[in-house]
Chains A and B, each alone.
Chain A
Amino acid sequence: MPTEIKSALPALVVIAPAAAAVLIFAIGRFTSWLKEALALAGSACALVASYEIGLAAFRGSALTSFGRQLYADSLSAVLVILISGIGLLSIVYALRYMRHQAAPGEAQHTTTPRRLAVFYGWLMLFLSTMLWACLSNNIIMLYVAVEASTITSGLLVAFYWDKRALEAGYKYLMLLTVGITFALFGCVLVYAAGAHVIGGARGLLLSDLRSVAGGFPVATVVLASAFLIVGFGTKAGLAPFHPWLPDAHAEAPTPVSALLSGVMLKVAIYALVRTVSMFYPGFAPISMFVLALGVFTLVIGDIMALAQDDLKRMLAYSSVSQMGYVLMGFGIGTPLGIYAGLFHLLNHALAKSLLFLATGAVTYSTGLRRISDLGGLAKKMPVTVFCFFAGALAIAGMPPFNGFQSKLALFIAGAHAGVWWAVILGLAGSLITLLVALKAAKSVFWGKPSAAVSAAAVKEAPATMTVVMVILALLCLGIGLYPKAVYRPLNAASAVVQTVTSGQPALEAPCPGALPVEAGTPSAAPPDTSTHVLPRR
């Protein structure tokens, strides 16, 4: 158990973007730059505080606020750094992107300068609620925070207020609210069972529930797990609960799409892992079910992505698939599997945000987003081409990008656990992802330009947008070339999940995903394979 330290930092991470949102709603519309400055300040403040939390958490401490209601261990720290980091980058990107949409004569939608204040206000609330979800130590408030992140992003999905956006917004709010209500039932069942053992007040705290969950009645565990998987799984876009996802991710403004696909899905996976993984030690079949659901999701997502002509919908279905890989890691349940799941969660967040932002740059410059309408952009948008390719190769799991490292770790973990069927389907899924991404990239950047593209004065996106994309692309490349850079935080984070599986703290040697050179060597294997949750086959 980490050493608990009372700190204002977890509270600051949640409050800073929320305060920025309140100020934006109150005074943001009075000047053209104030709303943007407030959004930047709020998200930068959250990022700095998240980084400070990370420094403490990765050294073995857990920071708590509000009487342990907010609790930041290393798993939370990884998530809040990711959310606030990608949040800040998305806001920097949005500065030009959203202004362009609101400019007279340029608008493709009904965006107006006045509505931009609404956009930034909801965006900051969205960030705040996602951060809150990852820091909440109260199982009921975890549900409230996850649902709050749906509420705050609902109007962002419907922001353009045209037929498509309204349809997407309605489906998004309705399906996610119904789904997440199942999660509330699950949370309440866990709480009720926990309160029976350790009392009402402690029964609410995730940090305390983990230590007693192994003794819950089997029926309670099965029902609670089912409710939690349906509830948080809907939010995470797991098949078959994913139909809302392509609509919402495609119709939202691009900076929001990047956040929805890049981090919001991870918040839901985080909630799922925080709650369901506490049952792993005593109830091994649950991890097998999670693994099967992950593999099913990755297959469905990949197949659906193949059929898409809309670039953003293709990316959205690809997100469904990649969340399947993340879940596959947690389903394998071994130390390496959990590490690989977390590693892929991080890598997908970076790569998919990058891909959505690169697609946004194409839309910004051409006004188009259908693959069949685009073509011949390679010479006109070289930075965007590089960034799109970096993201595409990363999610396809190709070297030298980060996705290669996490998928390699995932497949080694699967092979080590003996789940060959999952490894084979995962590899096949990766090939489909590669095919989908390269086919789209070839059509968009090297295909024959359509009349619409030829007629438009297409040029590279502005610097504030390309800089953000380049940062993300370099991160994908950097982690791919030097995975050890993220080994320590991810290892500490996976230890949080592992402590409930076996009492074994973490991988004691650098894992294969972190050091591919050592992947095949005996020393790179997890130290004690007897800790596997899945029975070895």
Chain B
Amino acid sequence: MSGVSAPLIHTLSLAMIITSFAAVEARNLRNATIAYLFQALLVTGLLAAYSVQNPALIFWAATALVTKAVLVPWFLWRATAGAEQETKPLINFGVSAVLLLALLATMFKLMHANAGLFIDVTGEFAALAQTNLAVAFTIFVLGIYAILTRRDAIKTVIGLCLLENGVHLSLVSLAPAIKETALAGIATEVVVTVYLLLYIIGGIREKFKTTDTFKLSELHW
């Protein structure tokens, strides 16, 4: 496999899913931010590991380190100052954990089995690409789950970050030759979106005295 360490990739992938789970389930927003930070570091590590196979990914890894592992956690840390406890979510921990585990297992198996829909599964690096896609889609679904079931606005932003990380990770297999300018554009827009969302959530906290999205009821259809 020309230097790509399959055990390393698999270990990092598993750790990524665990940290994503922790980021969704941690009720303390600062703990969730720390879990997200570890997840982002693992994304960087995975990209760096894949760069042995595709050197162009090292730029992507560096960009991810700056944007996902430094800037976004920093913004989240600032936004959670003085309001560390998450608004109680729609689904409690026990049910959520079971649901998430079932979701993760299903997505992982489904994507692993159907990776051929997206990539050439007969190539030299097919096994690694399959793992990459399975992890990417699993984290994508986990992000959607967080956005749909969490009431706290900041937690929904963490969900959005997971969702984006899932998509970005899939680029390793789906778009390995993508240009640096496009990668930089994708990474930058995520950081700016997160910054603006947290800025608006700061305004919401100031005016509504809460970040509970269920209390945002000024506008009705």
Chain A: residues with CB nearer than 8 A to chain B? 138, 140-141, 143-144, 147-148, 150-151, 154-155, 158, 161-164, 166-171, 173-174, 177-178, 181, 184-185, 188-189, 191-192, 195-196, 200-201, 203-204, 217, 219-220, 223, 243, 246-247, 250-251, 304, 307
**Contacting residue for B219 out of A178, A196, A251, CB 8 A:** A251
Are B189 and A170 within 8 A (Cβ)?
Answer: no
**Chain B's nearest CB lies how many Å from the CB of A239?**
12
A-B contact pairs, 23 of them (CB 8 A): A138-B179, A140-B182, A151-B192, A151-B193, A158-B200, A163-B218, A166-B204, A168-B219, A169-B200, A170-B200, A173-B196, A174-B156, A174-B157, A177-B193, A177-B197, A181-B163, A189-B118, A192-B174, A200-B176, A204-B179, A217-B117, A247-B219, A304-B221
Please state if B203 and A166 are interface contacts (CB–CB under 8 Å). Answer: yes
Tell me if B99 is interfacial: C-beta within 8 Å of chain A: no
Closest to A175 in B: B147
Q: Give the Cβ gap from A420 to chain B, nearest Cβ, in Å.
A: 31
Compute how far the CA of A203 lies from the CA of B178 in the bound complex, rounded to whole angstroms: 9
| Alpha-carbon distance between A15 and B53 when the two chains are bound, in angstroms | 37
Q: Determine if B177 and A200 form an interchain contact, defined as CB atoms under 8 angstroms apart.
A: yes
Known: A138-B182, A181-B167, A307-B221. 19 other contacts (CB 8 A): A140-B182, A143-B186, A144-B185, A148-B189, A151-B189, A167-B218, A168-B219, A170-B216, A174-B157, A177-B160, A178-B147, A178-B160, A181-B163, A192-B174, A192-B175, A200-B177, A217-B117, A250-B219, A304-B221
Do A191 and B175 form a contact, CB below 8 Å, given A154-B200, A169-B200, A178-B163?
yes
Main DSSP-derived SS at the A contact region: helix
Q: When A174-B197, A178-B147 are in contact, do A158 and B203 touch as well, CB less than 8 Å?
A: yes
Contact flag A144-B189 (CB < 8 Å), given A158-B200, A167-B219: yes
Whole-angstrom CA separation of A143 from B187 in the bound complex: 12
Q: A170-B200, A178-B163, A220-B117 are in contact. Are A162 and B207 (CB under 8 A)?
A: yes
| The residue from B178, B196, B201, B203 contacting A140, defined by CB atoms under 8 A apart | B178
What is the bound-complex CA distance between A307 and B218, given in angstroms? 17
* Given A181-B164, A189-B118, A173 and B174 contact (CB-CB distance below 8 Å): no
Q: Which residue of the partner chain, among A141, A163, A177, A220, contacts B182 with CB atoms under 8 Å?
A: A141
Interface centre among A170, A191, A251, by most chain B C-beta atoms within 10 angstroms, is A170
Q: Which residues of B198-221 have CB atoms within 8 Å of chain A's CB atoms?
A: 199-201, 203-204, 207-208, 213, 216, 218-219, 221
Contact A173 B204 (CB under 8 A): no
Flag whether B71 is at the interface (Cβ < 8 A): no
CB distance B118 to A192 under 8 Å? Answer: yes
Q: Which of B147, B171, B181, B213 contacts A188 (CB 8 A)?
A: B171
The answer for the CA separation of A180 and B208 in the assembled complex, in Å, is 28
Nearest CB in chain A to that of B183: its residue: A140
Partner of B170, one of A185, A223, A251: A185
Tell me whether chain B's interface is mostly helix, strand or loop, or mixed: helix
The listed residue with most B CB atoms (<10 A of its CB), out of A167, A168, A203, is A167
The answer, yes or no, to whether B153 is at the interface (CB within 8 Å) is yes
What number of residue pairs across chains A and B have CB atoms under 8 A from each other?
127
Complex alpha-carbon distance, A169 and B219, angstroms: 11
* Contact present for B156 and A184 (CB under 8 Å): no
| B216, A189: Cβ atoms closer than 8 Å | no
Measured between beta carbons, the chain B residues less than 8 angstroms from A163 are 207-208, 218
Chain B nearest CB from A360 CB (Å) reads 19
Residue of B with least CB distance to A161: B203
B18 at the interface (CB under 8 A from A): no
With A and B bound together, what is the CA distance between A400 and B219 in angstroms?
A: 36
The reply to whether the CB of B70 lies closer than 8 angstroms to some CB of chain A is no
Nearest B residue to A247 via CB reads: B219
Chain A residues with CB under 8 A of B140: 185
In angstroms, Cα B219 to Cα A154, docked, is 17
Contact A195 B175, beta carbon cutoff 8 Å: yes
B120 lies within 8 A of A188 (CB): no
B207 and A166 within 8 A (CB): yes
- How near does chain B come to A21, taking the closest CB pair, in angstroms? 14
Contact among A140, A170, A247, A251 with B197 in the assembled complex (CB-CB below 8 Å) = A170
Q: Interface centre among B147, B160, B185, by most A CB within 10 Å?
A: B185
> Of the candidates A170, A178, A201, A219, which one forms a contact with B144 in the assembled complex, judged by CB atoms under 8 Å apart?
A178
Residues on the A chain within 8 Å of B218, using CB: 163-164, 167
* Cβ B204 vs Cβ A167 within 8 A: yes
Q: Is the CB of B163 within 8 A of A201?
A: no
Tell me, in angstroms, the Cα distance from A62 to B156 when the chains sit together. 43
Chain B residues, Cβ within 8 Å of A143: 186
Determine if B163 and A188 form an interchain contact, defined as CB atoms under 8 angstroms apart.
no
Q: In chain A, what residue has the closest Cβ to B219?
A: A247
CB nearest neighbor in A for B217:
A167
Is there a chain A Cβ closer than 8 Å to B12's Cβ?
A: no
Judged by a CB distance under 8 angstroms, whether B119 is at the interface is yes
| Interface-central residue, B186, B200, B213, by most chain A CB under 10 Å | B200
The 4 closest A-B pairs by CB, nearest first: A200-B177, A144-B185, A140-B182, A192-B174
| B160 proximity list for chain A (CB < 8 A) | 174, 177-178
- In the complex, what residues of A have CB within 8 A of residue B182's CB? 138, 140-141, 144, 204
Which residues of chain B come closer than 8 Å to A192, judged between CB atoms? 118-119, 174-175
Residues of chain B contacted by A307 (CB below 8 angstroms): 221
Contact check, B186 vs A184: say whether CB atoms are below 8 A apart.
Answer: yes
Cα–Cα distance between A192 and B133 once the two chains are bound (Å): 13
- CB contact under 8 A between A140 and B117, given known A167-B219, A168-B219, A173-B197: no
A166 to B196, CA, bound (A): 11
Contacts of A151 in B (CB 8 A): 189, 192-193, 196
Chain A residue contacts of B144, Cβ below 8 A: 178
**A170-B200, A178-B160, A184-B167 given as contacts; is B175 within 8 A of A140 (CB)?**
yes
Residues on the B chain within 8 Å of A169, using CB: 200, 203
A340 to chain B, nearest CB (A): 30
| Smallest CB separation, A91 vs chain B (Å) | 22
Determine the distance from Cα of A203 to Cα of B175 in the docked complex, in whole angstroms: 10
**Whole-angstrom distance between the alpha carbons of A170 and B198 in the complex?**
9
| Chain A: CB-nearest residue to B159 | A178
Contacts of B175 in A (CB 8 A): 140, 188, 191-192, 195
Residues of chain B contacted by A164 (CB below 8 angstroms):
218-219
A166 contacts B200, C-beta separation under 8 Å: yes
Closest to B213 in A: A170
